[in-house]
Chain A
Amino acid sequence: MNPVAIPPGLAIAEPMPDVLPPVSARRGLIGFLRRYPTIAIGGGLLLAMLFVAVFAPFLWTKDPTSLAPALRTREPGAEFWFGSDMLGRDVYSRVLYGARVSLLVGFSVALFASAIGLAIGLFSGFIRLADSIVMRIMDGMMSIPPILLAIALMALTRGSVQNVILAITIAEIPRVTRLVRGVVLSLREQPYVDAAVASGTGTFMIMWRHILPNTLAPLTVQATYICAAAMITEAILSFIGAGTPPIIPSWGNIMAEGRALWQVKPYIVFFPAVFLAVTVLAVNLLGDGLRDSIDPRLAKSL
């Protein structure tokens, strides 16, 4: 600053003391996590589960499919940490390997449903002619309860993890499409989009540069909820025998196999159930935290 010449007869007042005590604003990842503890808790739990899934073979597990009929339905103890099922398989190992299926299905469905729903939503929000047709189809798909839709699709195909992912993805697409379309419809009325149109930007560029980035925040939140819903749906499909084939240990399968014995050996159902619930809770907490961090106004009401 340039020194200002003080006219004679005037004096500069002393600077006022700070009324507010200095706050050392925490920045970076730590500060972010402290402000949104649900992201920290949810993310932490999810990372832990991811670790379990990736490193399942090294976490003192046995072969999750090896049978030992002589050692069937052992109570949880030193040899079988979570007990053994009616075929003598180690429930601890099966539950840990089961995390792989659950996370794979959850993440894949979230990714595919978001990507496809985003594409359809952008297309439908921008091209009026397509909009009414696409949205009628989406309304039709949404009028079939999602689990029933997934069940019906699974009935057409062989049970496999890929088919489970495909069936749940199809069932989730309409909701993403609606969300994206809603955002697109409100954004295209914004002055900056008008400005872009006026300056001669092509439709595709407007979508790519001006609309798409604004849909990503709500889409990310939606994707976490889809991930949670997909993990539950996978478990339900496997539980009723229309999902992951029984040869692959998934939490739904383990529970389905424990179902016949659950009154006498409840632990076979109990352990996968707890893992499933904790994982889904982690994803939901992460989603709630992300929603709050993206839209603080919404956080107060929801």
Chain B
Amino acid sequence: MWAYIIRRVLATIPVMAFVALFVFSLLYLAPGDPAAVIAGDQATPDDVERIRASLGLDRPYLVRFGEWVFRILQGDLGTSIFTNLPVGHMIQQRIEPTLSLMIVTLILAVSIAIPMGVVAAWKQGTWIDRAVMGFAVLSFSVPVFVVGYLLAYIFALELDWLPVQGYTPFSEGFFPWMENLVLPATALGGVYIALIARITRATMLEVLQQDYIRTARAKGAGQGSILFVHALKNASVPIVTVIGIGIALLIGGAVVTESVFAIPGLGRLTVDAILRRDYPVIQGVVLLFSFVYVLVNLGIDLLYTFLDPRIRY
């Protein structure tokens, strides 16, 4: 098992290296000349050349990449072109809302989607099953910002139950925090719920046909315990995999959801950075999100060895 864990951890290195190379190339290929910008309008070509040399921008691609990676490893993500603040600092300021939104969405989605998928598999072919599957197709088709506006229109504007927009930090209390997150999390969770419910149903259908389920039924186990203990436990590996892969949907969706609900998080930061062409910030956010995504999926892969003792690599 330890050999597997070490091999799996080592396997993320080329992936991370690719991500780093891609993100670095983003800044390298970005239009505009930072040296010319810093030198200003009055500068002579010689001045620009001197600044370029002092910034190290005249050195070869791989040398600059090496230096960049070295700085990243020290936690230095560069400086924003627009605000002149360190990118790491800007990300730190914006991370709480995004993290809150993702965690609430994750909990909400998993706690709705898994029972949905289990019941759909149990009642296969009935209207319940068809309703769940119909909901899934619908969720895949309606973009997150459309759901967001629809929810905000109904529950915030018409019914006035929840705030339309904004974010309250967790430090100001659980309920105000939650109040602002319910609608965005529901909007963001739609696709994710559909994804998890579908894989849960598919895996459960397979598991429910196994002999040990018949055995459990024969020994008199209740329907609930058969579904949620005997079957779900054995269906957990593909479900957990999809939960991990689906984090990508959450990350992509958060960028949009934060725009709809005016949440001052990383998504909002990304959108602002794109509109201002603030490449160091775009670079930092893409790097952070990708590394989180890789690490989450690494963690899930390692979790398997504990979830399912049959898995031996």
Per-residue CB contact flags for chain B residues 259-294 toward chain A (1 = under 8 Å, else 0) read 110000000001101110101001001100110011
Most buried by B among A147, A154, A266, A302: A147
Say whether chain A's binding surface is mostly helix, strand, loop, or mixed: helix
Query: CB within 8 A of B259: which of A239, A277, A301?
Result: A239
Question: Is the CB–CB distance between A145 and B277 below 8 Å?
Answer: no
Interface size on B, residues (CB 8 A): 55
Residues in chain B near residue A242, CB distance under 8 A? 271, 274-275
Question: Is the CB–CB distance between A147 and B274 below 8 Å?
Answer: no
Minimum Cβ distance to chain A for residue B32 (Å): 11
Instruction: Check A280 for interface membership: any CB of B closer than 8 A.
Output: yes
Question: Is the CB–CB distance between B15 and A139 below 8 Å?
Answer: yes
Task: Please report the C-alpha to C-alpha distance between residue A143 and residue B298 in the assembled complex, in whole angstroms.
Answer: 11
Instruction: Check A40 for interface membership: any CB of B closer than 8 A.
Output: no
Question: Is the CB–CB distance between A156 and B30 below 8 Å?
Answer: yes
Residues in chain A near residue B30, CB distance under 8 A? 155-156
Query: CB within 8 A of A143: which of B143, B252, B259, B290?
Result: B290
Query: Who on chain A is nearest to B149 by CB?
Result: A269
Instruction: Check A204 for interface membership: any CB of B closer than 8 A.
Output: no
Minimum Cβ distance to chain B for residue A211 (Å): 27
Per-residue CB contact flags for chain A residues 280-301 toward chain B (1 = under 8 Å, else 0) read 1100110010000000000011
Query: CB within 8 A of B146: which of A144, A152, A273, A285?
Result: A273
Task: Please report the C-alpha to C-alpha distance between residue A285 and residue B293 in the assembled complex, in whole angstroms.
Answer: 30
Residues in chain B near residue A285, CB distance under 8 A? 137
Interface residues of A in 265-280 (CB under 8 A from B): 266, 269-270, 273, 276-277, 280
Task: Please report the C-alpha to C-alpha distance between residue A276 and residue B141 in the assembled complex, in whole angstroms.
Answer: 8
Minimum Cβ distance to chain A for residue B78 (Å): 15
Residues in chain B near residue A239, CB distance under 8 A? 145, 256, 259
Task: Please report the C-alpha to C-alpha distance between residue A72 and residue B271 in the assembled complex, in whole angstroms.
Answer: 28
Question: Is the CB–CB distance between B274 and A146 below 8 Å?
Answer: no
Task: Please report the C-alpha to C-alpha distance between residue A281 and residue B14 in the assembled complex, in whole angstroms.
Answer: 37
Question: Is the CB–CB distance between A288 and B26 below 8 Å?
Answer: no
Question: Is the CB–CB distance between B270 and A137 below 8 Å?
Answer: no
Instruction: Check A241 for interface membership: any CB of B closer than 8 A.
Output: yes
Task: Please report the C-alpha to C-alpha distance between residue A52 and residue B164 in the assembled complex, in whole angstroms.
Answer: 34
Per-residue CB contact flags for chain B residues 15-36 toward chain A (1 = under 8 Å, else 0) read 1111100110010011100000
Query: CB within 8 A of A266: which of B19, B149, B259, B294?
Result: B149
Question: Is the CB–CB distance between A240 and B271 below 8 Å?
Answer: yes
Question: Is the CB–CB distance between A143 and B255 below 8 Å?
Answer: no
Residues in chain A near residue B17, CB distance under 8 A? 140
Question: Is the CB–CB distance between B274 and A154 below 8 Å?
Answer: yes
Interface residues of A in 108-157 (CB under 8 A from B): 136-137, 139-141, 143-149, 151-152, 154-156
Task: Please report the C-alpha to C-alpha distance between residue A149 and residue B22 in the assembled complex, in whole angstroms.
Answer: 10
Minimum Cβ distance to chain A for residue B313 (Å): 17
Residues in chain A near residue B297, CB distance under 8 A? 143
Question: Is the CB–CB distance between B205 and A301 below 8 Å?
Answer: yes
Question: Is the CB–CB distance between B289 and A136 below 8 Å?
Answer: no
Instruction: Check B251 for interface membership: any CB of A closer than 8 A.
Output: yes
State whether A240 and B255 are in contact (beta carbons under 8 Å apart), knowing that A144-B286, A155-B279, A235-B143 are contacts in the complex. Answer: yes
Residues in chain A near residue B16, CB distance under 8 A? 143
Q: List 28 A-B contacts (CB under 8 A).
A: A139-B18, A140-B14, A143-B293, A144-B19, A144-B286, A145-B248, A146-B248, A147-B252, A151-B282, A152-B22, A152-B23, A156-B31, A228-B140, A228-B141, A240-B256, A242-B275, A266-B149, A266-B153, A269-B149, A273-B143, A273-B149, A277-B146, A280-B141, A280-B142, A281-B138, A285-B137, A288-B137, A301-B202
New contact pairs (14) apart from A140-B15, A144-B19, A300-B205, CB-CB < 8 Å: A140-B14, A144-B293, A145-B251, A145-B252, A145-B293, A148-B255, A148-B289, A151-B270, A152-B22, A156-B30, A255-B145, A266-B149, A266-B153, A288-B137
Binding site for A on B (CB under 8 A): 14-19, 22-23, 26, 29-31, 137-138, 140-146, 149-150, 153, 157, 164, 198, 202, 205-206, 247-249, 251-253, 255-256, 259-260, 270-271, 273-275, 277, 279, 282, 285-286, 289-290, 293-294, 297
